[in-house]
């Protein structure tokens, strides 16, 4: 059983640019969530995808968008990057099973906006 994998691990972008982060969910998981973690803070929920549709969104502007593909992998896109977007971006996958929706996280993508 493969775990959650994210790419790239590190990324440096210039303010105003666009970025795409990728996530492969754990085998058999149909739900993917994205979180933003600023330094010294707990992760903040961005949005969640279930069977290719967004079904929950946190307090993030529309320039944060996503996709989920038929194989349940996912992308997070951020347009018009701002300096405050610098953070660790975490992807989590889950499924409703006997373990009751346990979330498994990837290693994260460290985004630096300069």
Partner 1 sequence: KQEVTQIPAALSVPEGENLVLNCSFTDSAIYNLQWFRQDPGKGLTSLLLIQSSQREQTSGRLNASLDKSSGRSTLYIAASQPGDSATYLCAVRLGGAGGTSYGKLTFGQGTILTVHP
Catalog residues that contact partner 1 under the rule CB under 8 A: 4, 6, 30-31, 33, 35, 40-45, 48, 50, 55-56, 58, 88, 90, 92, 94-96, 99-108, 110
**In this complex, which beta carbon is closest to partner 1, that of residue 36 or of residue 78?**
36
Shortest distance in whole angstroms from residue 92 CB to partner 1 = 7
Distance from C-alpha of 38 to C-alpha of 22, rounded to nearest angstrom: 19
Shortest spacing between CB 8 and partner 1, in angstroms: 14
Q: How far apart are CA 52 and CA 100, in angstroms?
A: 21
Query: CB-wise, 48 or 113, nearer to partner 1?
Result: 48
Instruction: Compare residues 35 and 66 and give the one whose CB is closer to partner 1.
Output: 35
End-to-end CA distance of the chain: 38
Contact between residue 50 and residue 112 where contact means Cβ atoms under 8 Å apart? no
């Amino acid at each position: 059983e493969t775990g959650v994998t994210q790419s790239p691990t590190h990324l440096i972008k210039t303010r105003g640019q666009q970025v795409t982060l990728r996530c492969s969910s754990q085998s058999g998981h149909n739900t993917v969530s994205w979180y933003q973690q600023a330094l010294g803070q707990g992760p903040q929920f961005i949005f969640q995808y279930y069977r290719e549709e967004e079904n929950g969104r946190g307090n993030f502007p529309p320039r944060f968008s996503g996709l989920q593909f038929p194989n349940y992998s996912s992308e997070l896109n951020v347009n018009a990057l701002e300096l405050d977007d610098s953070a660790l971006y975490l992807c989590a996958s889950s499924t409703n099973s006997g373990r009751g929706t346990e979330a498994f996280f990837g290693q994260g993508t460290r985004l630096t906006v300069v």
